[in-house]
Structure formats: C-alpha cells, structure tokens
A and B are shown apart, each in its own frame.
Chain A
Amino acid sequence: MNALPSNPAADEIPTFAIVGHPNKGKSSLVATLAHDSDVQISAQSGTTEFNQTFPMSVDGEVLYQLTDTPGFQRARQVWDWLQKNSSSVADRAQTVRNFVEQHRDNTLFTAECELLRPLTEGAGILYVVDGSVPYGNEYDAEMEILRWTGQPSMALINQIHDSDFHEEWESALSQYFRIVRRFNAQLADFDRQLGLLSGFSELNENWRDRLLTAVNLLRRRREGQRTASAMVIAELIHQAMTCQIDTELPDQENDSDSVAKTLRQELQNSIVQMESNARQDIERLYHFDRLDAEEDTLSLDHNQLFSATSWEMFGLAKDQLLVAGAVGGAATGGIVDIATGGGSLMLGTGIGAIVGGVSAFLSEQKMFQSTLRKTGLGNDRLTVGPIESVNFPYVLLGRALNHVSVIEGRTHARQDVLRIQGEESRKWQQLSSMVKPLGALFADIKKQKLSRAESGRQLSTLILEILKNERSGSGE
C-alpha cells in the first residue's frame, strides 16, 4: 500500500486529523488537547461542518497542529466509489485523492471531502470512537476508507458515558489500526493528555522531536501556571489576613457597635470579593476565561471557620489548631533564645509556644479585631479587622488549593458548570506536615513582621510545594 505523496510543508509540521463518526467526541478531544474552551462541542450531530485547525505554536513557530473534522455522513457511498475506481492495491491512496478532487463541489460529499482533504495532504489520522456504545459494522466502511489513505493512524476509544464496550472496540479497531488507545477526553488529566501527545510520535518517527518539544513546553507552561497560581493565593491570604476597614465615627454616632457591625459585614464582603477575584485570576491562568461556576461562598462565621469539616479538609485535628498557634508563638520566643545565646535555657521558645497556643484559642472567641481610636483632634475612628481567627488562613488556603486542584483537573472539553462544594473538597494531607512552617509564617504575616514581598515569596513557595506533593501523592 502506497502512502500519499506528502506535502513538504505538512511533512515538516506534524498534523493530526481527528476523524470519525459524528458525535463521538472529536471536538472534545480537540478542546482537551488544545486547552481551548471555545471549541464548539454539541450533543447535536453535525456541529462541525468544516475543518478547523488548532496549531500548537511557540513564539509563532508551529510545532504541530490538530484538525477537527466533520464526521462521516455517507461513508458507504464513498467506499463504494473507491472500490469501483481502484484497479489495484497500489493506487488506493491516489484513488482517495481522486475522490476528493472530483467531489470537491458535490454537496452530497461535503463532509467526506472536508475530512479527507488533510489526509491527502499528509496528516496523521486520529480515529475517535465512543467506547460506551457497542461496536457496529456500519463503522467498517469508514475504517476501510481511512486505511486506503495509507496515512499513519491511531484509534482512540473515548468513553463518553458510563457503559463500557471498549473490549469489543479494541478487537475491532485492532483490525484496522496498529495503535489503539483509550482516552477519556472529558476526564483525562494533564499527564494523560501529554502521554497521548507523546504517543502521537509513534505514528511517524520524523515527528518525534517536535512532539517531544511540544510536550516539554506544555509541561513547563503548566509549571508556570502553578507558580503563578501559588502567587495569587499567597497574595490573597496576605491581603485577607491584613485587611482592615477604618471609618470616622460621625459626631452624633454614640453607638459604635452598630457601626462596627456594618464594618464587619463590609470586611467580610471585601474578603469574599478578594477570593472571587483570585479564583478568576487562576481560572484565566489555565485558559478558562468564561467558566460557569457554582461555588460555595466563603463565610467568616465562627462556626464554619472552626467546623470539623474545615479542619478535616486539611487533615488536621482540632487540637492541631493549638499547635499551629503555638508554632507562631514559639517562633517569637525563639528570638529571645537566640538573642541571649541560649542563655534563657530555651525558656523563650517554651513560653512563646504556650502564649501562642493560648492566644490561638482565645482569638477564636473574638473573630474580628475592633479598635476605637480617640484622636482627640477630631471625630473618633473605628477600625475593624484584621480577622483574628487562627483558623482563617488555613480555611482560605484550603479553599484555594481545592479550587486550583479542580481547575487543574478539568479539561477544556467539559461544558458543565464548575462546582466546588464542600463534598468535593479534597483532604490535603500534606498540609498537616506543613502546619509548622505555615503557622510560623501566618503568625509573621499577622504581626506584619515580614514585608509583603517576603511573606508572598515564602508563602507561595510553601503553596507550590503543597501542590506538587499533592500531585505526586495522587500518583499523577
């Protein structure tokens, strides 16, 4: 069987035409591999009418490209034509090219001409089937046509629904394709996506270098996204932990409690808004520009901040709160020990730890710090904030980590609403091993001992470590 004479340009840039029956997830596969939520995906048959090419480029240089094609509509008719117009095995590829040439303007074969065109130009074939429905012999015609093109090919079994018929698909597809893989375009995590991309290099040895370069760049881009996310979270935590609302009490205002209540609400709204902005920033980093999300709103209610669920989320027991607070105190006390060259017999650290732990407990009794300042020269000023709860930064961090994790695990093929609810929260076991450094850092931020840049640097480094550990811990 002769391969089609390849177009030199197409030979240089690996091109993969994603072909198959309509509604088998071709566009979903493209959306997932191209990280583009704008790819039109619909339950309606025939949504893709014309080819659309998605080039993966680095600073303008294209490394490979994916072509989303319409599905076969009249495969048997094409197959019939090819059989009638081929005289030998040797001319099969040319016969396919002839078909495209001769039927270019025939509206009956718009879909077939469109999907076969890139193959006649040298594109590799990614044949997509739905592994959740049974194999049927109506697929045979299109698989024969694809075989006749002589192009390197790979079959992908996409699992759209829960039912599983992949075994019968594997046995059928292996008759036509040398490489058969299972790939869930909706749920494939990042590493599986890169694994598939690397696998494309099996189709043609000449494409290997470019594809491996692409894989490495995508991996580096993901690391960059994660680093930037860690910075966004660190900035959020610092802002939220140091946020204060300050107002001048009017002359006639005698009841500062009611003003304080209003300010507390304002402070809460501000922090909720900060979290929302941070989430949007992170979603944008991962190219989810218009994500429809349903998220539970952060509540600064004492009960929620101190609830068992909040703590379980981080793999912490409630008594570890005291440990977290004590670490902050011990860090302070340690300075005394260092200053005295250990002459204090480490009493500084011990006392600091006790003070820190007790402070942590007591601070839970008073969620918001309120300060009434009598200026003497004008109206008194009332300042509300920052949030006193020791638990608060952990809750904020846990929520942010959950969000990043959900975003990182979400493919661009998914059209459903992003839901981040309590029940979807993961347990961040790694966080329990980070209690000490986090506790010390949170204490420093609270006391404004570190510059924002320094605390941001330290905190984002810890967050990045947690995210990396979580990924390696989950086996990704």
Chain B
Amino acid sequence: MLGNSAIRLYGLIKRQLESDRQQPLAQLQHRDREIGRTLGITPGQRPNRKVMQRWLDAVSASEDSDPVNHRGLSWVTSLVIISGAVLGWLCASTLLNYDGRMPVNLIYFLLILVVWPGATLALWCILILIPRTTSESVLGAVSPGEWHRKLVTRLSGGIKPGNEFDTDLKISMQWQGYGLSHLFTLCFVLAACLYFLFAISFSDLAFGWNTTLEVSNDAVHSALSTMAVPWRQALPHASPTLELVDISRFYRLDHVLSRPADPDLKLAYQLGRWWPFLFMSLLVYSVLPRLVALFFSIWRTTSAVDSALEASSGANQIVARMVSPVVSTVPHETSQPPPEKTGQPFGLQKQLDGDTHCVVIEWAGAQVTAEQLRQIRVVPVIKSQAGGVHTLADDRKLLREMNVDTVQGIAIVVKAWEPPMLELNDFVASARKALSPRQSLILLISPLPGFGVRSEQMQAWENVLNTSGDSNLHIIALPHQD
C-alpha cells in the first residue's frame, strides 16, 4: 500500500547492486543471463518494477533482512488509518448529536467535514505546484511529506534518502508522505460518512442553520445550490430548495418569539431533508478529491521509483545482462602465479681480478669482440661456436676435443636479450664436466649492439644458473659496443 512495496523493491535492488559490486563480472553475467532466459526477457526490455521484482526474486530467493523497516512502515500506515477513522467517527458523532431541541447545525457540519478537508487539499496543491525550493522554505516545516521523509529515514537502516544522493527516492518518500496524509483524511471523512449514514438510518435528525450576520436566505440558497451543481441534474432531491433554506433557518429565541412550537409535523419532516445534500457534499468534496489525491500520490510514489530504476545504470546493466548472450573468453580455472623470486643477486656476478685465459665459446650466434674481452680481462685462447645452427653432435664434439688443461676456464658468450633456456643449462653442465672444479665457468652476457645489459636481464640469468651450486660459475655483463 502507498507504494511501500515499490520503495522496498528499490531498497532491495540497491542493496543487491552493492553486493554485486564485490562479485566477478563473469559470474554476474552467467547468473543474470540464466535468469533472463528463464524469465523470457527479450531485448528492448526496460528495467521496470515488474521485471526487477522477478529478477530480485530469482537472485535472492531467501531474503534475510529488509533494508527498509517494512513492518515499521506498515505500522505507521495502520496507525494512520485507525486514527483517521476513529477521529472521523468521533467528530461526526459530535457534529450530528441531536437531542430533539436544537437541530444539527449544518454549517458546522460543512465547515468541519467539507470545507476544512477541502482547504487542506488546496494547500497541498499549492505545495506541490509552487517551486520546490520555495515550498521547502515556506511550507516545508508543515509538509506531511517532509515529516514522513524524516520518519522513514529513521525507520530505514539500508537506504537513507537523507543522504541526498537518491533524489528519486527522496521524491518517492515525499509522495508517500503526502499519500499518508491523504489516507488519514480519507479515513476521517469515510468514517464520518459511515456515521452519517448510521445516524440518519437509526435516529431522527433535524438540520438547521443560523448566523448572527445579516445574510439573506437567497444568498445562502444560491451558495448551496452552486455547491450542488455537480449532482443537481442527476439527483435533484440532493439540492436544497429556497423553501428548505428558509424553514431551516433558526434563531436563538426562535421557538419563543417568532416561531412557536409548530404542532405541524411537516416542518420536522422538512428539516430532515438536508441529508442527501450533506451526504453528496461529503462524497463529492471530501471523499472523491481525497481518493484522487491518494491515488495520485501513490502513482507518483511508484513512478518516482520507476524513474529511479530506469535511470539506474545498475538496473539497466542487469537487464542488458539478462538479454545479452554471455560472451566468455576466460578459462574455467585461473592459472596460479609462479612462486615469487627474491630479485636479490645470488652472488654469481663478478669482475675478474686479473687476466684470465679462457676458451671462449659463442653460443647460438652470440658474438664478442676482442675489445670487449680485453675490457673484462678475458684472454681468449681458443674461440669456438656452439648452439644455434650447430648440431648437438657438434657441441659434444667441441667439448670433447677441447684442450682445457692450459686454460683457467671456459667463457660462454650468450645473448642478453634471449631468455636462458634448459638447452643452454645442459651445455653449461657438460662444460663443467670437462673442467676441473677449480677452473672457472664464466657466462658472458652480450648486449644488443648500441645497448647495455639491463639489470633484469642479468637477474634472469642468475635465477636460472644459481641452482647449480657451482662456486666457480660466474656471470659477467659484456660492455656496451657501438
């Protein structure tokens, strides 16, 4: 009632969207696509309440808690209905109290049950028609919508329209507040109507009017006839005649001075003929406008929620996911990251202390110049090639036939830009076997012409070679060459 379910739906969707932010997108795509296919949602569908409610039902079948204190709102609504009805009944019973001496004052009746509700309705119309900022400053303090917004803010745990971000929700709650005020008045006048029907059915009422002012009966008749315009054609008996106005006018000393007790029962009968007019006045000027205003408020409450949903990129994305095929490009299982390497040097990098006589082997097309070797104090005794286009047999033959007795070690030149591969590891291991433990095995890292060897390249070689446990294995970066 009063758009409670719409506001509650909005709150639940907002909460679900927040929760979805923590989920991987792929998971949401599969979930919503499945729901979309089950519900038969087709492309072009807008995120209206019906669709979003069905989606929500499918997503959260077991809802644990409500972001809006729904019970609190229902309680407020019930309180408004009961209090309006009780007050209306009491008010009508007071106004229609007739002890057989003084007639019921139909002016009081009209003022309290027709004019006052009409006046508050007119005030409300002004409130919603004039610009919002002005209404807030002039009428905001007495606006039931504003009161209600504050009340709901206190009752709500999950959605807080008071934080000013959800404009549509704030508007929705204001309209819900207006709706509550209309509901109160409607219950008030309906209860008064019921009491009125009850009173005229089970008691004998006489209506009259009076005034201290000098007002002619014609003027009063004219005013009341104008009031009866909406139903006069259909219900001529519900429109007061001049005669009825005239005979209904009574004075404080009426029965003493001008009109002695009338033995003619016709007059008493005439005084009861006001009831159709009064009933129609209640119905047309109090009940119907309030009913219209109530439905209007409910419509505005729900349409504000509709607007909020339609404008919500989150809700639109949900519908888009429901109607779009799930295009997945990710594996079902995510690869595990490799174990972290420390990034610390293992101590394989070194500079030679003095001239070191070595067999120099250029691996897989890597090249070294005499000048580069001189700078790092490697004296090439023999220079050979291995790897690359050479066969494995060539490599084995090279190591087998190489005379390493007269040298201090083997220097293998490798390309800095190529990653260390197991094939080279095999060759390094074979070279080590050809040497005595005291002899050095040196990897010379050759940079691209025009570049130097980058630290991460050196690190990559260290990472691969440090597992050998060879204390005479070293890595040296060759100097930059033009």
Which residues of A come within 8 Å of B, CB atoms?
A: 21-23, 33-36, 38-40, 42-48, 52-60, 71-77, 80, 108, 111, 130, 133-134, 136-138, 140, 163, 217-218, 220-221, 224, 227-228, 231-232, 234-235, 238-239, 242-246, 270, 274, 280-281, 284-285, 287, 289, 371, 373-378, 385, 448, 451-453, 455-456
A385 to B26, CA, bound (A): 38
Q: List 14 A-B contacts (CB under 8 A).
A: A40-B335, A55-B328, A59-B33, A71-B421, A138-B388, A140-B388, A217-B327, A245-B164, A284-B25, A375-B141, A377-B141, A377-B142, A448-B167, A453-B307
**Beta-carbon contacts under 8 Å, B368-403 to A:** 387-389, 391-392
Give the most central of A77, A137, A452, A455: most B CB within 10 Å.
A452
Known: A56-B328, A58-B325. A138 touches B387 (CB 8 A): yes
The residues of B that contact A228 with a CB separation of less than 8 Å are 313, 316-317, 320
Which residues of B come within 8 Å of A, CB atoms?
A: 21, 24-26, 33, 132-133, 136-137, 140-142, 162, 164-165, 167-168, 306-308, 310-313, 316-317, 320, 324-331, 333-338, 341, 364-365, 387-389, 391-392, 415, 417-423, 426, 448, 451, 456, 460, 463-464
In order of increasing CB-CB distance, the 5 nearest A-B pairs are A45-B419, A453-B310, A452-B311, A138-B364, A73-B422
Q: Which of A21, A221, A373, A374 sits near B418, CB closer than 8 Å?
A: A21
B140 touches A231 (CB 8 A): no
B329 touches A452 (CB 8 A): no
B330 touches A47 (CB 8 A): no
Q: For residue A58, which residue of chain B has the nearest CB? A: B325
- With A45-B420, A60-B326, A452-B167 given, name 18 new contacts (CB 8 A): A34-B331, A40-B336, A46-B419, A48-B335, A55-B331, A59-B33, A71-B419, A71-B421, A72-B421, A74-B421, A133-B448, A224-B324, A234-B313, A235-B313, A284-B21, A287-B25, A452-B307, A456-B313
B325 touches A59 (CB 8 A): yes
A243 touches B422 (CB 8 A): no
Q: For residue B338, which residue of chain A has the nearest CB? A: A47
B25 touches A239 (CB 8 A): no
Q: Which of A72, A73, A137 sits near B389, CB closer than 8 Å?
A: A137
Q: How far is the CB of B165 from chain A (nearest CB, A)?
A: 6
Q: For residue A378, which residue of chain B has the nearest CB? A: B141
A224 touches B329 (CB 8 A): no
B320 touches A138 (CB 8 A): no
The residues of B that contact A231 with a CB separation of less than 8 Å are 313, 316-317
Known: A40-B335, A40-B338, A55-B328. A235 touches B312 (CB 8 A): yes
The residues of B that contact A44 with a CB separation of less than 8 Å are 338, 341, 460, 463
Q: How far is the CB of A351 from chain B (nearest CB, A)?
A: 20
Q: Which of B25, B365, B391 sits near A138, CB closer than 8 Å?
A: B365
Q: For residue A140, which residue of chain B has the nearest CB? A: B389
Q: Which of A46, A52, A80, A385 sits near B335, CB closer than 8 Å?
A: A52
Q: For residue B449, which residue of chain A has the nearest CB? A: A134
Q: For residue B457, which residue of chain A has the nearest CB? A: A43
B418 touches A54 (CB 8 A): no
Q: Which of A43, A77, A244, A245 sits near B392, CB closer than 8 Å?
A: A77
The residues of B that contact A238 with a CB separation of less than 8 Å are 311
The residues of A that contact B141 with a CB separation of less than 8 Å are 375-378
Q: Which of A38, A72, A220 sits near B334, CB closer than 8 Å?
A: A38
Q: Which of A21, A58, A72, A245 sits near B327, CB closer than 8 Å?
A: A58
A374 to B140, CA, bound (A): 10
A55 to B137, CA, bound (A): 62
The residues of A that contact B324 with a CB separation of less than 8 Å are 220-221, 224
B164 touches A243 (CB 8 A): yes
Q: How far is the CB of A278 from chain B (nearest CB, A)?
A: 8
Known: A80-B391, A451-B307. A136 touches B421 (CB 8 A): no
B313 touches A36 (CB 8 A): no
B167 touches A74 (CB 8 A): no
A403 to B29, CA, bound (A): 23
A287 to B316, CA, bound (A): 18
A57 to B332, CA, bound (A): 11
The residues of A that contact B168 with a CB separation of less than 8 Å are 451-452
The residues of B that contact A42 with a CB separation of less than 8 Å are 338
The residues of A that contact B389 with a CB separation of less than 8 Å are 137-138, 140
A39 to B167, CA, bound (A): 42
